[in-house]
Chains A and B, each alone.
Chain A
Amino acid sequence: NAGVTQTPKFQVLKTGQSMTLQCAQDMNHEYMSWYRQDPGMGLRLIHYSVGAGITDQGEVPNGYNVSRSTTEDFPLRLLSAAPSQTSVYFCASSGGGRMGEQYFGPGTRLTVT
């Protein structure tokens, strides 16, 4: 199993550009989520999904969109990038019925200039 994979590893955007961060898992997990990590603040939940076709907002959803058309994939879209979205983004998944042990991807480091 590859586990949770994320692409790209690094990305530089200009203010106003849009892009999609990719996340995929091969563990047949129902629950997937996106977090951002900023220095000294831990991780904050952006959006999550409890299964294909179901998504919901987390703590900091503004400026981000998600969709879940398959169990395996959970892309995160930045609609119009802003410098405040400079961060490291992590995708995670968990299985085992209700929310179980979380498995994290390697992260995407995004810089918006």
Chain B
Amino acid sequence: GIQVEQSPPDLILQEGANSTLRCNFSDSVNNLQWFHQNPWGQLINLFYIPSGTKQNGRLSATTVATERYSLLYISSSQTTDSGVYFCAVEAGYKLSFGAGTTVTVRA
């Protein structure tokens, strides 16, 4: 199956800081999605981004499909941004997840 690697595994931020999360994948994919899992376990879709750049408030994402990576940018981080961020790629109707980046934002 497709291998998905996320970095860094853990990130500690001071409120207001900016950060970049990276997702590398091993093969061609049909689409790529970013999710946020909050401290209560709920998974929320942040971006559906097979290629290009998208922005949603303080979050933005860029996928370079030809080079098999995607980046998630968090700007002006807030404590509510804490949680685990997952990247997932789809090929053949199967979604493969990375192990996630755990983000802790301190006030």
Q: Is A44's beta carbon under 8 Å from chain B?
A: yes
How many A-B pairs have beta carbons closer than 8 Å: the answer is: 54
Q: Is B11's beta carbon under 8 Å from chain A?
A: no
28 contacts between A and B (CB under 8 A): A31-B93, A33-B95, A40-B99, A42-B86, A42-B97, A43-B88, A45-B95, A45-B96, A56-B93, A58-B94, A59-B1, A59-B94, A59-B96, A90-B43, A98-B30, A99-B30, A99-B90, A99-B93, A99-B95, A100-B48, A101-B33, A101-B45, A102-B45, A102-B95, A104-B35, A104-B42, A104-B44, A106-B41
Report the nearest B residue to A57, measured CB to CB. Answer: B94
**In the complex, A41→B4 CA distance in Å?**
11
Binding site for B on A (CB under 8 A): 31, 33, 35, 40-45, 48, 50, 56, 58-59, 88, 90, 92, 98-104, 106-107
**In the complex, A96→B104 CA distance in Å?**
34
Interface size (B, Cβ < 8 Å)?
Answer: 23
In the complex, what's the smallest C-beta–C-beta distance from A23 to chain B, in angstroms? 14
Binding site for A on B (CB under 8 A): 1, 4, 30-31, 33, 35, 41-45, 48, 86, 88, 90, 93-100
Q: Please, which residues of chain A bring their CB within 8 A of the CB of B96?
A: 45, 59
Q: Please, which residues of chain B bring their CB within 8 A of the CB of A41?
A: 99
Q: Please, which residues of chain B bring their CB within 8 A of the CB of A42?
A: 4, 86, 97-100
